[in-house]
Each structure stands twice: as structure tokens, then as C-alpha cells.
Structure 1
Amino acid sequence: MAIGEICNREVVFAQRETTVLEAARLMRQHHVGDLVVVDEDGGKRVPVGIVTDRDVVLEIVCMELDASVLTAGDIMGLELATVRENEGVFETIRYMRAKGVRRIPVVDARGGLVGIVTLDDLVQILAEEMNELAKLIATEGRRERQTRYA
């Protein structure tokens, strides 16, 4: 299955110049723990970074800095990992693990933002798949008992 089929396509995003205060308000308004920082390029949004609620707390609040002056571009990570929408789920998981990231923007062939996948999303999907496998095991056992021992 391609990661583009399961990614969340309703991505909350901000520009580099969005203040940290506004970024925090966006996270609260949309009930998310991160924002994808984008640059506009020919009508498409190109992800350039991520700002998390943890970044806001550790980089701004704990340091007693002014969140109304500093920007998303000031606190986003310098290196952003992304994955193409046609990449497989397990390849995406391996890549996230190798990069040590809990969330990853999904991009199209031109680098435009199409969605985001988080560790939580992947765990939920894998749990659902494991549940279906467990049901299969139980069904197979019942069928065998009915046909062989009946």
C-alpha cells in the first residue's frame, strides 16, 4: 500500500515568517501537535520544516523568549525528511526510523505537500491490520473444527 493512500491530507501549515505565537495558536485551533512549515513555489506548497508543540515549549517557553517575535523559521529543524506519496508503508516506517522522526510530510513527484503521516497514524493502522489477522486465525480454527470434527 502506498503511503499516499493513508496519509492525512488535511495538513496544518505555516510559513517561515509565521510567529511562534501564531503557530501555537494554529496548533491549538486545529488540535494538532505540529505544523508543517512551507514555502510557496509556483502555486504549490513545498515543505521546508516542521514545528512541534515540543519545539515551542523547549525552544521558547523554557528559555523565556518572546513567542510574538520569533518565527517558525527560527525554531524549525534544519533538515527535513519527506517521503514521496507512492512510497510503501513499510519503506516509510524504515525511513522514519532511520531518520529518527515521529512525523513525516508526504510529497508528490514535484516536491509539493500532499499530506503528513505520524507515528500514531502508523501504529493505529498496523494495530487494525494485526486485529484482522487475529480474526483470520480464529476463523480458520473454527472452520477446521467444523469440517474435520463434525
Structure 2
Amino acid sequence: MTAGEICNREIIVIQRDESVLEAARLMRQYHVGSLIVIDRTGGCAKPVGIITDRDLVVEVLATGLDESVVTVGNIMAEELFTVKENIAIHDTVDFMRSKAVRRLPVVDATGELVGILTMNDLLEILSEEILDFARLIRRGQLKETRQRP
């Protein structure tokens, strides 16, 4: 399984010159906790940053900045880590752990944004795998009970 196979392809994006107030509105409208900041060049959406609800609280609200004037580019995380869509999930998890990130934009071979993979997505997949293992154990126990009464 690859990052591209399980990532969320319905990505909410914003450009760096938009206000943080607009970012907050988008987060509320789409019920998301982060937005991918993009630059559009030649019709392609290239990820350049990420902004989270925590960024809005810590960088803007807690410091008393004017949310209608501060732009996304002013507070977005400058160091953006991405992962290619053909990378295996195991390698993706290792990468997230090594970089201490909970969200990764997923890009194609040209660097264009195709999705986002979050820790929640990975936990959902992992919980399904664990449930499958639990069912396997239970079936094995039932089989043994029938074969060796």
C-alpha cells in the first residue's frame, strides 16, 4: 500500500497572500484543522507550506494580531515536508516519525499536490489491520474448538 492509495485527495488549499481570517473560515467551512498553502504556477498547485488551527491560535489570537491583516504566508510553517504518492506506507510512517510531523502533503512525480496524509488516516488503517488480526485469532480458536472438542 502506498501513500497515494490512502491519502485524502479532497484537499483544502489556500494561497499565502490570503488573510488568516480567510484560513479560519475555510477550516470551519470544511471542518478541517489544517490547510495546505500552495503556489499556482502553470496551472499546477505546488505545496509551499501548511497552516494549522494551532498556528492561528498561538501565532495570531494569543498575540493579539489583527487577523484581517496578517496573511497565511506570515505564519505558515516554512519547512514543508512532502511525500511522493508512490512511497510505501511503512516508509511514510518512518518519515513522519523522523520529522515529527502529523500531516504530509502527498505529491506526484512533478511535485504537484495530489493529497494529504494525516496521522488520523494512518491510525484508521492500522486499527483496521489490528481488527483483522483479532478476527483471525478468534477464527483460529473456533476452528480448534471444532476440530478438537
Q: TM-score range by the shorter chain?
A: over 0.9
Cα distance in 2 between the residues matched to 1:22 and 1:78: 19
What amino acid is the match of 1:82? T
Pairing 1:11-90 to 2, within 5 Å after superposition: 11-90=11-90
What amino acid is the match of 1:38? I
SS in 2 for 1:63: coil
Partner of 1:119: 119
Pairing 1:95-114 to 2, within 5 Å after superposition: 95-114=95-114
Aligned identity (percent) is: 54
Cα distance in 1 between the residues matched to 2:138 and 2:124: 21
Structure 1: runs of 5+ lacking an equivalent: none
Cα distance in 2 between the residues matched to 1:96 and 1:69: 33
Q: TM-score, normalization: structure 1?
A: 0.97
Partner of 1:2: 2
What is the CA-CA distance between 1:145 and the residue it aligns to? 2.1
SS in 1 for 2:141: helix
Q: Give every structure 1 segment of 4 or more consecutive aligned residues whose post-TM-superposition deviation is greater than 3 Å.
A: none
Cα distance in 1 between the residues matched to 2:143 and 2:109: 46
